[in-house]
A and B are shown apart, each in its own frame.
Chain A
Amino acid sequence: GNSVTQMEGPVTLSEEAFLTINCTYTATGYPSLFWYVQYPGEGLQLLLKATKADDKGSNKGFEATYRKETTSFHLEKGSVQVSDSAVYFCALIGTNTGNQFYFGTGTSLTVIP
């Protein structure tokens, strides 16, 4: 079946530090992969996505590369800001499963000045 595993949080970083949030997946076929972000008190917002192997999604300084050989989609940012404090969700849409999302458990990030 389809599933997503994210690194456990919470993660606390100082401003301008490098961020990596690990995400690995299990899926048959060729899933599409997503990162969503949830700011306090708000709904989920799409951060970036990749639809095929070796694609790199990027947005607002965040990047993630779809690695089929390692079944991974790790989220990275070179220099985090206090405003990046949020919960980050990795998700996939599998093949032949309609448009149903499978979400990871979420990783809480706090960036301190």
Chain B
Amino acid sequence: DSGVTQTPKHLITATGQRVTLRCSPRSGDLSVYWYQQSLDQGLQFLIQYYNGEERAKGNILERFSAQQFPDLHSELNLSSLELGDSALYFCASSVGLNKETQYFGPGTRLLVL
């Protein structure tokens, strides 16, 4: 158990809908990262937050957004969902910013029908 929790574990929704994925980092970790894992794209970095502020952006679509709250939990919002958004979404956390080990949550499996 990495100490990172994600909810829900599974999510089934329809095209055009909006969903919110939630992540709680390990106790004491200030950085949160979101990744998308799909069969065709592999593991892709989406976005990073550190102590409430956005720090880095990767291959995140404009339909996707995230935020980190004062209690350090984070939410990833996916809107206008398309079939191709079906994937496993992982959250990871680390203490700080400098070449540190990231600890991954169990993931949320999203299926868009």
Contacts and interface: CB of A to CB of B under 8 A. Distances in A.
B31 A106 contact: no
Given A45-B2, A51-B99, A103 B42 contact: yes
Contacts of A97: 56
B62 to A, nearest CB: 19
Q: Is the interface of A mostly helix, strand, loop or mixed?
A: strand
Contact of A93 (B58, B96, B99): B99
Contacts of B101: 34, 46, 49
B43 A99 contact: no
A89 B35 CA distance: 14
A45 B105 CA distance: 9
Interface in A83-111: 89, 93, 97-106
B111 to A, nearest CB: 15
A41 B107 CA distance: 9
Nearest to A99: B97
Interface in B81-113: 90, 92, 94, 96-107
B55 interface: yes
Interface residues of B, number: 27
Interface residues of A, number: 23
B68 interface: no
Given A43-B106, A98-B56, 15 more contacts: A36-B104, A42-B106, A43-B104, A44-B43, A49-B101, A99-B33, A99-B99, A100-B45, A100-B48, A101-B35, A101-B45, A103-B42, A103-B43, A105-B42, A106-B42
16 contacts: A43-B2, A43-B90, A43-B105, A43-B106, A43-B107, A44-B90, A45-B2, A46-B103, A51-B99, A93-B100, A98-B48, A98-B97, A99-B31, A101-B33, A101-B35, A103-B42
Interface of A: 31-32, 34, 36, 42-46, 49, 51, 89, 93, 97-106
The 10 closest A-B pairs by CB, nearest first: A43-B104, A44-B104, A32-B99, A103-B43, A43-B106, A93-B99, A105-B42, A98-B56, A99-B97, A100-B56
